[in-house]
Amino acid sequence: MSNQLAEQLDGRITLANQGAGIGHNQPPLADIIAEELAPLRKRADELIAIAKTAVIIDDESAGKVIDLISLMRTLENDIDGKRQLVKKPYLDASRTIDVLYGAVTQPLIACAGRGGLRDMLTAYQNKKAAEAEAARQAELAEQRRREDEAEALRVKAQEAADAGKSGLGSELDALAAQEQADAAGRRAAAIRPEPVRAQLGSLGSQRTIDFSVNDYHKALRWLLKVRPTETGMALRELVGKQLRSMGVAAVKAGVNVPGVKAWIETQAAIRR
């Protein structure tokens, strides 16, 4: 990377740290990089143009292709090295920003979130819900008691009628008991935990999904059915890591991986 670019980037970082305003005269980052890349892009285009005309007919022409690949790899490494240098101050600044701001926000998150104040509210909310459920069950019990009472009075009124006597009093009592039973049922249906409201919000509830995997084989088979592409890619990556850790010699000698066929492919490689 040229000294000019380094100085320009350092200037941008310094100005950014000082809160540069409208009046600063630094060029946009894209313009700085475009200027730096111009000769490298030209060289890359030249090498690519030569590569498009390359033909291998003998050892000499194969040697030229080897040299061309080496030149392209060298240029690629040079460009990538410059990219890393350009990016580094921004990455460093980004990490510093994350650390400094995170040092303030993380304690807030820990205090307000799970394990902190939110768990306190969850416990209180569960307590209110339990109290409301207990009250609802009490009203339902009252409803059942009054319904049994009404049924007993209706039976008494019917028995009086069968005996040729007036059962009007029992019938009226049965109607009153049934009305009280219906009222208890309505009260039970209406019972809800009282909402908690504050100046800056109110207490609600949020449902989240949590899980544990107790049979990895079944879970993997299920994933292969519902998300075959993503699961296959992840599985292939894991199998590849395992095979590479075993080494070329072991794979060439033959490895027994259930459901996997592994072999060695030989490709051209340039040695220096």
- State the pLDDT at residue 5: 53
Tell me: pLDDT of 40 over 90. yes
Give the predicted TM-score (pTM) of the model.
0.61
Tell me: pLDDT of 190 over 50. yes
Question: How buried is 205 (Cβ within 10 angstroms: 0-12 exposed, 13-18 middle, 19+ buried)?
Answer: exposed
- State the pLDDT at residue 145: 94
End-to-end Cα, the chain, rounded Å: 25
pLDDT band at 200 (very low <50, low <70, confident <90, very high): confident
- State the pLDDT at residue 13: 45
**From CA 188, how far away is CA 182, in angstroms rounded?**
10
- What DSSP character marks residue 116? T
Domain edges within the chain: 3-112, 124-195, 217-272
**From CA 38, how far away is CA 31, in angstroms rounded?**
11
- State the pLDDT at residue 24: 55
- State the pLDDT at residue 25: 63
pLDDT band at 166 (very low <50, low <70, confident <90, very high): confident
